Amino acid sequence: MLIISGMVAPSARANDALTAAEQKVVQAVDARIEEQIAFLEKVVNINSDTLNLAGVREVGDVMGQAYKEIGFDVQWVDLPTAMHRAGHLVVKHEGNSPKRILLLGHLDTVFPKDGDFQTFERFGNQAKGPGLSDMKSGNVIMLFALKALKDAGLLDDVNVVALYTGDEEKVGKPFQVSRQAMVDLAKASDAALSFEGGRPDTAVVARRGSSGWRLSVTGTRAHSSAIFRDQVGAGAIFEMSRILNSFYEDVRGEDYLTFNPGILVGGTKIDADWQQSTASVFGKTNVVAQTAEVAGGLRFISEEQKERTREKMRKIVADNLPGTSAEITFTDSYPAMPPTPGNYALLDVLSGVNVALGLGEVKANDPGSRGAGDVSFVAPYVSGIDGLGGSGRGGHTFDEELDLRSLAPMTKRAALLIYRLAHGAAEK
């Protein structure tokens, strides 16, 4: 393997031709393409906003029935009622391969049940609809890739489990509960493939993790004429400004590291609801600020980078201006998916499949261009790649679209990738 800027690059692959068995898979995908589009329309037309529990479950039931028809074991994983999340769909096929492949998708979308954007619309080779690219097209690609393997008589050679979460867009907390089933499956798998939206020429081998942070500063309340005197000091807002400027000067700069102070309030009295991202403040220009608070986010490419950054931030926070004190706390969210050699080995296999299909080589996506995703939760336990879903744009907006022409090639490469991994391709 080659090392480029601290990341591992895939080795060059020969232009492998498709085997006779793989040609059957390609033909099977083509034979079902209109059925695949119709099925996609069906699931898009079921509202599955994360908090519409019945809708999420309905999409899961439709997907589960389709898997039952090709011989998969189907299970619904419930979450505690207090979490107010629908749960997850798990489908399994125990094949002859010693390699177990984990597939990841999510059933939920960001579009509310009472919103205006509810239905699938087709315009020639383009379609528009809620959750079309993020990620119902990816869900359907997974299903129809496995259907194609079944049609080609190759499914018995594959040992595969697919997990469709019901709360990816608004993850249930604590994560240790909502993602326990995923972690358990990852620990028993040899590779993880995630089907968030993607492009034929790139795949995701690394995603940044996310963490929240909150900074609280206390000063000495006094008349503004006394600011900077020994008995008063600098006040909370000056101390907050010092800390944030020091973050900018001394912490900023590492590759893939970002930190953003998203909400800031300061004055005499603060009333904040950080869960709802709202706050109000009372203060006067002739009173030294008694309190200041900031809520922010932190993005990182590895757990080591996260911890190193947190320690830098803590040291800055501890070095207070006169008459002030400060405290910073951190809240974990998504872990990082670092660019490991195992991830690049999977990319290498994917690129070989792409070349064999005439789609060209696949390059690694810039980790800074993608947000956090479910695949990050399995990254500590199994090698994985993401971005294997359909090609679209406008995710999370009323302009969410999908290029329907991407379904066939992305389904073909998914099926062949699963098949080759089942036969140990990543170990060659």
Q: Rounded distance, CA 154 to CA 135, Å?
A: 26
In SS3 terms, the chain reads as CEEECCEEECCCCCCCCCCHHHHHHHHHHHHCHHHHHHHHHHHHCCCCECCCHHHHHHHHHHHHHHHHCCCCEEEEECCCHHHCCCCEEEEEECCCCCCEEEEEEECCECCCCCCCCCCCEEECCEEECCCHHHHHHHHHHHHHHHHHHHHCCCHHHCEEEEEEECCCCCCCCCHHHHCHHHHHHHHCCCEEEECCCCECCEEECCECEEEEEEEEEECCCCEHHHCCCCCCCCCHHHHHHHHHHHHHHHHCCCCCCEEEEEEEEEECEEEEECCCCEEEEECCCCECCCEEEEEEEEEECCHHHHHHHHHHHHHHHHCCCCCCEEEEEEEECCCCECCCHHHHHHHHHHHHHHHHCCCCCCEECCHHHCCCCCHHHHCCCCCEEECCCCCEECCCCCCCEEEHHHHHHHHHHHHHHHHHHHCCHHHC
CATH class, range 2-207+337-427: alpha beta
Reported as a single tens digit per residue, the pLDDT across 78-121 is 999 999 999 999 999 999 999 999 999 999 999 999 988 989 99
- Listed residue (96, 19, 196) closest to 424, CA to CA: 96
Fold classification of 209-332 (topology level):
Alpha-Beta Plaits (3.30.70)
Find the range with the poorest average confidence among 99-103, 172-176, 407-411.
172-176
What does each C-alpha distance from 418 to 68, 105, 145, 299 come to in angstroms? Answer: 19, 15, 9, 31
> Which pLDDT score is estimated for 6?
34
Give ranges for CATH 3.30.70.360 in the chain: 209-332
Give ranges for CATH 3.40.630.10 in the chain: 2-207+337-427
Reported as a single tens digit per residue, the pLDDT across 338-357 is 999 999 999 999 999 999 99
Q: For residue 73, is pLDDT > 80? A: yes
Q: Rounded distance, CA 357 to CA 25, Å?
A: 11
Reported as a single tens digit per residue, the pLDDT across 32-45 is 999 999 999 999 99
> Which pLDDT score is estimated for 216?
98
Q: Would you mind telling me the total number of residues written for the chain in this entry?
A: 428
- One-letter identity of residue 93: H
pTM: predicted TM-score of the whole model, two decimal places: 0.86
What does each C-alpha distance from 84 to 53, 110, 113, 377, 404 come to in angstroms? Answer: 8, 15, 16, 20, 34
- The burial of 46, by beta-carbon neighbours within 10 Å (0-12 exposed, 13-18 middle, 19 or more buried), is given as buried
Reported as a single tens digit per residue, the pLDDT across 1-10 is 222 233 333 3
> Which pLDDT score is estimated for 16?
65
Q: Could you tell me the two tokens for 119?
A: 């239905």
Mean pLDDT, all residues of the chain: 93
Q: For residue 276, is pLDDT > 80? A: no
CB atoms within 10 A of CB 65: 10
What does each C-alpha distance from 235 to 120, 289, 291 come to in angstroms? Answer: 56, 5, 8
> Which pLDDT score is estimated for 306?
96
Q: For residue 292, is pLDDT > 80? A: yes
